[in-house]
Structure 1
Amino acid sequence: MLRSRHLLALSARLRAGAAGGGAAAAEAAAVTTSPWQPAQLASLQAWTAAFTSSPQLSAAGRGAAFDTLAAAAARRQPAPGAGAVGGRSSLSTASDVARQAAPAPRGTSKAGSGRSLWSGLFLLAPGALAAFLGHWQWERRQWKAQLLERRRSMMQSEPLDLFAAEQEPDEYSRVTVEGQFDHAASQFVGPRTRQIAGQSKQGYLLMTPLRQPGSHRAVLVNRGWVPAEWRSDEGMRREGQPAGTVRLEALLRHGEDPSTFVPANEPAKGNWFYINVAELAAAAGLPPEAPLVEVVTEEPGSYIGRGPPSATEVLGGRGHIPKVDESYPLPKSLEDLMHFSVMPSDHLNYAATWWTLSAATLALAVKAVRQGVKAR
């Protein structure tokens, strides 16, 4: 019982933070001078040295370890770690057991939980961004669908006499104009490409002023696509130059917004890379406010010019392969004007992709946050 009392007293002092003090040393001396067997005494001496000087243990950790020694003494069993062979010290064994008896550092679990929590919060940002982009694509889809529906209704409306209208109609309105072409003032915008008999061919959009006889009224007419030879060969141009008064049914159009890499127009040199209505009208001798109309055909897919010019070339006809003996100029079709480079169905696919990515990312974020909260 004496040994047990000394061990319990030493445990209490170590728990109170008195490790290494005089009182703890006295208790340790009392323990080691009690009547133990040689093997037990060697083990206890090693344990005493380990627990009173080890910097790896707190006072609570040392006390918890000495509780084990006290219990062993009460049962008259060798101390844990006893059984050194050939006089080998049990110090390393005592240190291992001491480390096992000590509570795990609280900082380790907190650090792990903190990393999980921050990982989850970090994943919330891309998940929210993907959700926003999906919503944005959905709104773009609705806007594009409304735009197409409005354009379709404008093109199906009754044509208006443009020269008699009190104010200029909206873009894509059907209009009629009557007058005479001023072929000498024609301008070529391009180059634009299209497929001719399965082969890509360079050409231009032909812009010709149309003046109303006996008045100062005039419009700029986009008559359609012509081969590149028309720009230099007057004989070829003459084939497509109607004389006298003509009556046209066309669509009111605005100019083009060129992409960043499309060159600027050079009116002085007669080089036109995109449609700028005011500049083209001025070059043709028309007032700057002269409207632009575009001749169209109801033949499906006769000419496709989708959107503003691209970086590599000013886009022209793609899709339909006209006959070799077709007469020029070749106008666009109503079907072509109902096409965008990104259609509503494309916006829907983009939205679904973003929302799927958002759901997956947010699921990972929620899982990481929950793990971090549980670990705290």
Structure 2
Amino acid sequence: MIKRMIVPLILGIGGIAILVSLGTWQLRRLEWKQDVLSEIEARIAAPPVPFAQAEGPYAPVYATGILGGPELHVLVSRKQIGAGYRIIQALETEQGRIMVDRGFVPVAQVDTPRPTQTLTVTGNLHAPQDRNSSTPENDVEANIWFARDVTQMAEVLGTQPVLLIARSDTGQGVDPMPVATESIPNDHLQYAMTWFSLAVVWLGMTLYLLWRIRAKTV
């Protein structure tokens, strides 16, 4: 009986060890990711500087210029509100033309005229990672964008490939959607719980198999 139990016991202990180690590794990744998110949050909330002096993603900036002209409409959905569009426009500054993500308007208000205005926009520089394998290609002709592809948008609007995502109110019924860490995936805790759950299942299966072997030999 003992000889028949050796192989299942080795496989059981080995499998449990591997699954527990994977869960532990995910917990270490969770701690690392939380530190990264804390650093990003601190960077986002730092005092803004002129956009021409800022470097890197999430940099807090402000820019003054003439905001208006053609709009790009990026399709999004907001909880408890529904579908709508992000409004992307050019901001003409003394340092050149950049893009501003002004924020959200409902579908019914996307064609509402938004006159040109001179103002200071405060927000964060960002290169959004909106696109994944299931994201459709942007319909540039119909002005329906499914991702904020900065380079492509800059070519259409004739600006620098710089996107300032507003956290200040630019008025005219546009609700700012500031940069936040909520959009950054952090699933390590769920992954860890999955591995630990599989380890428990593996333990149960191993004990059941050993019990069956013992029962057949008694």
Do Structure 1 and Structure 2 share a fold, with TM-score over 0.5? yes
Q: 1:276 to 1:127 in 2, by over 3 A?
A: same
Q: Distance in 1 between matches of 2:156 and 2:49?
A: 27
Match in the other structure for 2:77: 193
Note the residue ranges of structure 1 that are not aligned, 5 or more in a row.
Answer: 1-111, 299-325
Cα offsets for 1:194-252 (capped at 9, x unmatched): 35xx5x43211110010115x5x121110001122344x3xx223xx352x21111111
Q: 1:129 to 1:265 in 2, by over 3 A?
A: farther
Work out whether residues 29 and 188 of structure 2, in 8 Å CA contact, stay in contact via their aligned partners in 1: yes
Q: Secondary structure, in 3 states, of the residue corresponding to 2:167?
A: strand
Work out whether residues 101 and 164 of structure 2, in 8 Å CA contact, stay in contact via their aligned partners in 1: yes
Q: TM-score, normalising length from structure 1?
A: 0.49
Match in the other structure for 1:205: 86
Note the residue ranges of structure 2 that are not aligned, 5 or more in a row.
Answer: none
Deviation beyond 6 Å, 4+ runs, structure 1: none
Q: Secondary structure, in 3 states, of the residue corresponding to 1:273?
A: coil
Corresponding letter in the other structure for 2:27:
W
Alpha-carbon shift at residue 359 of structure 1 (Å):
6.0
Query: In the alignment, is residue 331 of structure 1 matched against residue 176 of structure 2?
Result: yes
Match in the other structure for 1:138: 27
Alpha-carbon shift at residue 162 of structure 1 (Å):
1.1
Q: Distance in 2 between matches of 1:160 and 1:338?
A: 20
Corresponding letter in the other structure for 1:132:
S
Name which of 147, 156, 164 aligns with 2:36. 147
Work out whether residues 68 and 116 of structure 2, in 8 Å CA contact, stay in contact via their aligned partners in 1: no
- Which structure's residues are more often strand, by fraction? 2
Match in the other structure for 2:108: 229
What are the residue-to-residue correspondences of 1:33-48 with 2, within 5 Å?
Answer: none
Match in the other structure for 1:72: none
Alpha-carbon shift at residue 270 of structure 1 (Å):
2.8
Name which of 171, 177, 181 aligns with 2:63. 177
Tell me which of the two structures has the higher relative contact order, counting C-alpha pairs closer than 8 angstroms and 6 or more residues apart: 2
Corresponding letter in the other structure for 1:150:
E
Q: TM-score, normalising length from structure 2?
A: 0.80
Q: 1:341 to 1:176 in 2, by over 3 A?
A: closer
Q: Distance in 1 between matches of 2:25 and 2:183?
A: 18
What are the residue-to-residue correspondences of 1:103-142 with 2, within 5 Å?
Answer: 112-142=1-31
Work out whether residues 120 and 364 of structure 1, in 8 Å CA contact, stay in contact via their aligned partners in 2: no
Cα offsets for 1:254-298 (capped at 9, x unmatched): 1224232211123344331111000000011124xx211111159
Q: 1:340 to 1:249 in 2, by over 3 A?
A: closer
Q: Secondary structure, in 3 states, of the residue corresponding to 2:148?
A: coil
Work out whether residues 130 and 357 of structure 1, in 8 Å CA contact, stay in contact via their aligned partners in 2: yes
Work out whether residues 297 and 332 of structure 1, in 8 Å CA contact, stay in contact via their aligned partners in 2: no
Q: 1:297 to 1:351 in 2, by over 3 A?
A: farther
Name which of 139, 152, 160 aligns with 1:266. 139
Structure with the greater alpha carbon radius of gyration: 1
Match in the other structure for 1:277: 150
Name which of 122, 130, 133 aligns with 1:249. 122
Alpha-carbon shift at residue 143 of structure 1 (Å):
2.2
Cα offsets for 1:37-79 (capped at 9, x unmatched): xxxxxxxxxxxxxxxxxxxxxxxxxxxxxxxxxxxxxxxxxxx
Q: Distance in 1 between matches of 2:72 and 2:204?
A: 59
Alpha-carbon shift at residue 329 of structure 1 (Å):
0.9
Corresponding letter in the other structure for 2:192:
A
Work out whether residues 165 and 178 of structure 2, in 8 Å CA contact, stay in contact via their aligned partners in 1: no
Match in the other structure for 1:156: 45
